[in-house]
Structure 1
């Protein structure tokens, strides 16, 4: 298995774990007899766990080496899938979800940091496609989860079987990962990594994109029901469509990056998402609303992969850069649904998505932060091209 295929398989496995849990939340809710408030708090725990744990991930990768760290954390991520289904009471569920989030976030950081180095090693952009495969893995596992729920398979059995299969796939993929270690004189990552100024600027772009993504994913069905008069089936299908358009865009995103460079891809994508936001805000029937959410998905799809790639180049090491920007984007994921709900309750749903559209506009204006070294952003000479391994690739501070 070559390095590209190996890291692609890791991304698919990571997405499959997330997609598996998402489909069986109702089973956990029913088993523990949770009310909406308690369930909402439980679903907040993964983001808190990830937010707290991610800044430590780059130090682990430095100590163990990237390949062992990716293999270890992906195995842990597969294993903790069982914990929420085994939780006997709400308190145990909160603890399980915190651990689930910590494993999710740390594995996310190390695999994206490793992907930055694989991208440099093979000399072309691959990050968008990797995130597309994450979506594919999530949707495929979600489909299996829907079938398991429909046939009333106990989630403990479902999760155990899936975890075993994904653990094997993750360990097998890990054997093909790039054997990369920081240079002997490279600075050791800090115990708790905070983003530097350059990564903060890149993180702003990622924050805006994930804010729009998280709000749209969580509120699209409610919006279409309350504002556009959609029936339950049509409203639920809007989320599937949103994710499908995101996945498809990410799978072709690397070609766009190689053709136009990341800055133009983010700007054009942002303009598409702004158009989608305008459609959502003005929609009073389901069709334009669904189209608007689909355009938001298309517009923000490639941003997070490009943000991770840029942050990997601007941190002291790729791992630190990715950890810093991941912390910012998870903060966005953590706050976006709640802020959207507060605005909708205080004003209206269209007003809430009007604010989200403005957030996307900020992303468009900030896209220049992804530029590198003053290059022109075209084809192989632009920021979309992957430079030969240089200071950042060997763990030394980037000079840009």
Structure 2
């Protein structure tokens, strides 16, 4: 919990951490109103799926450009401009008068979120380098906390009874906090590095990290989408407990991220990735037992295991020798986000043809793959 204490005691660390929370508060508030937007515009599920793909497309379009933008503006300024643009873009989807404006609005929301995501992870990487303090994992914990805050905001719906007004309130409150703390990171620049020409030697560690990111975030997305259905159809849990797997996963992930920096400081980034993977593997084994108690416990273990992996990937990616920190973070973000989006879709086809239990068996298998890849990173570091 040292990193959490660090964040709350020093505005230099709280400012960037609050950016993480802000992004998920705005996104989570939008997500609450997806059903009402569908109803308001009278669009089908297929049309809604295409519109949501536009959001993802916006994220992917910005990824190749983000490192250039960040290096040109400076990582502190890029983070602030990302916050400013994201806060404006968050308002557009709920104002969309028709389907086509909704698609454009979601594209812009995705693009601004993507820029902010990469900038804020690069910013934390640079502050960690400069201050010799670890708080990347706790910053990702703030992202998870932002989702919790957005969820609690759903209790305001009956009183506000206006989706756009609800979003305006959240944007103004969250943005005001960002305005107050932005001076603590606005002027931060990425430390100059001695770049090396492209080579397989440089690309190999990025590729290994990308594989881990794709699989880890793909697994996260799968648990978000499929845990409830698994408990209902495979474990035959009562209706009251159907959401308990995701709840256990989310709580343990948030707690794990607040604890991760201290463990990482003691054993190192690569070892904590391997440790987290072992915990996630144990979790999948428990999920596959078919027992209600052990399955829910298993989801908690997977959340705890995966909680420390993604923050460490950003930390490692931003510190590869000869690779610009913004480029390393952009690559990890791109491959990880691709996994988060494509993983549940791929596993959906497996579930349709082979059943949900086979789907979670595949997730167990890819977790073992992550462990093998993390060992390859360990060997490379020793070499």
In the superposition, the TM-score normalised over structure 2's length comes to 0.90
The secondary structure found in structure 2 opposite 1:159 is helix
Task: Give the structure 2 partner of residue 389 of structure 1.
Answer: none
Equivalent residue for 2:82, pick from 68, 73, 85: 73
Deviations 1:248-287 (A, max 9, x none): 100000111112222222222111111211222231x433
Q: Once structures 1 and 2 are overlaid, which stretch shifts more, 314-323 or 212-221?
A: 314-323
**Would you tell me which structure has more helix in proportion to its own residues?**
2
Q: Is the 8 A contact 2:235 2:292 kept in 1?
A: yes
Q: Is the 8 A contact 1:10 1:173 kept in 2?
A: no
Q: 1:288 to 1:197 in 2, by over 3 A?
A: same
Q: Is the 8 A contact 2:157 2:166 kept in 1?
A: no
Equivalent residue for 1:48, pick from 57, 60, 72: 57
Equivalent residue for 1:318, pick from 325, 331, 347: 325
Q: Does 1:170 align with 2:178?
A: yes
Q: Does 1:149 align with 2:157?
A: yes
1:268 and 1:207 map into 2 onto residues whose CA distance is 18
Task: Give the structure 1 partner of residue 168 of structure 2.
Answer: 160
Deviations 1:280-315 (A, max 9, x none): 2231x4332222211111111111100001111126
Equivalent runs, 1:299-318 vs 2, <5 Å: 299-314=305-320, 316-318=323-325
Q: Does 1:214 align with 2:221?
A: yes
Q: Once structures 1 and 2 are overlaid, which stretch shifts more, 329-338 or 257-266?
A: 257-266
Kindly state the Cα deviation for residue 132 of structure 1 after the two structures are TM-superposed.
Answer: 0.5
1:95 and 1:232 map into 2 onto residues whose CA distance is 38
Q: 1:123 to 1:372 in 2, by over 3 A?
A: farther
Task: Give the structure 2 partner of residue 130 of structure 1.
Answer: 139
Any gaps of 5 or more consecutive residues in structure 1? 376-399
Any gaps of 5 or more consecutive residues in structure 2? 1-9
Q: 1:296 to 1:184 in 2, by over 3 A?
A: closer
The secondary structure found in structure 2 opposite 1:181 is coil
Q: Once structures 1 and 2 are overlaid, which stretch shifts more, 77-86 or 176-185?
A: 176-185
Equivalent runs, 1:242-257 vs 2, <5 Å: 242-257=249-264
1:3 and 1:370 map into 2 onto residues whose CA distance is 32
Q: 1:231 to 1:101 in 2, by over 3 A?
A: farther
Equivalent residue for 2:295, pick from 289, 294, 298: 289
The secondary structure found in structure 2 opposite 1:308 is helix
1:369 and 1:45 map into 2 onto residues whose CA distance is 36
Task: Give the structure 2 partner of residue 98 of structure 1.
Answer: 107
1:289 and 1:79 map into 2 onto residues whose CA distance is 41
Q: Once structures 1 and 2 are overlaid, which stretch shifts more, 351-360 or 361-370?
A: 361-370
1:311 and 1:202 map into 2 onto residues whose CA distance is 7
Q: 1:280 to 1:152 in 2, by over 3 A?
A: farther
Kindly state the Cα deviation for residue 171 of structure 1 after the two structures are TM-superposed.
Answer: 2.4
2:217 and 2:84 map into 1 onto residues whose CA distance is 26
Kindly state the Cα deviation for residue 84 of structure 1 after the two structures are TM-superposed.
Answer: 1.4
2:108 and 2:41 map into 1 onto residues whose CA distance is 19
Kindly state the Cα deviation for residue 19 of structure 1 after the two structures are TM-superposed.
Answer: 2.1
Deviations 1:90-131 (A, max 9, x none): 222222222111111111001101110111111122111110
Kindly state the Cα deviation for residue 341 of structure 1 after the two structures are TM-superposed.
Answer: 0.7
Kindly state the Cα deviation for residue 221 of structure 1 after the two structures are TM-superposed.
Answer: 1.2
2:79 and 2:343 map into 1 onto residues whose CA distance is 29
Residue correspondences, number: 370
